[in-house]
A and B are shown apart, each in its own frame.
Chain A
């Protein structure tokens, strides 16, 4: 059974970098049949997919157009986890952030969610 455990700060100052990590158990970040995603949810924007990383003989990333200039998703094979970095945050980036596995064209499972507030 795959489980995802998120970690990272819940408060980030405007213009700084939001960083979250998702630790994987029961699967491998290097799996050839899964992709590892970050999704956020806010009252104003609903559920918003941010991007993914996946391994198919080499590493690939896909990012949402809305954050493409500010986002990096990085796998860490030594710790079997993946991370999100979102630069130059504003209050609009305040949301609950989720990591999720994508296999068989479905997001399952999801991490527990992390409320990140952007405020000085």
Chain B
């Protein structure tokens, strides 16, 4: 079965750039999405189709996807961005999620 691998945790200082990676076999040939989840809340999509931002998502969120790796980049990270982030892709009519990355802003 298809797998997506994320680092368990990433730390960043306020105002700096955070990068979260998601690795999977030939992931660049698929569309990648990124979801943000804060404690006690449902996930919210922050990037879809590799690099598109839904309305209402700040411009500091961006995404890329090439080769075997998709990357979520948060520029000028703010304290409110502290959350769990999950990547997701489709493989043969099955949705697959990464294990999640806890972003700490300190």
A residues touching B (Cβ–Cβ < 8 Å)? 37, 39, 46-49, 62, 64-65, 98, 102, 104-113
Contact = CB atoms under 8 A, between A and B. Distances in A.
B10 to A, nearest CB: 17
Interface residues of B, number: 21
Contacts of A109: 42
Contact of B100 (A47, A65, A106): A47
A105 B48 contact: yes
Contacts of A47: 43, 86, 88, 97, 100
Given A46-B100, A62-B94, A107 B88 contact: yes
Contact of A108 (B54, B94, B100): B54
Nearest to A65: B1
Contacts of B99: 46
Interface string B76-89: 00000000001010
Nearest to B54: A108
A105 B96 CA distance: 12
Interface of B: 1, 31, 33, 35, 42-45, 48-49, 54, 86, 88, 90, 93-97, 99-100
B94 A107 contact: no
B48 A64 contact: no
A105 B86 CA distance: 15
Contacts of B33: 105-107
A46 B97 contact: yes
A112 B35 CA distance: 15
Contacts of A46: 86, 97, 99-100
A23 to B, nearest CB: 15
Contacts of B43: 47, 98, 107, 110
A15 to B, nearest CB: 27
Given A47-B100, A65-B1, A108 B45 contact: yes
A114 B33 CA distance: 23
A111 B100 contact: no
A112 B44 CA distance: 11
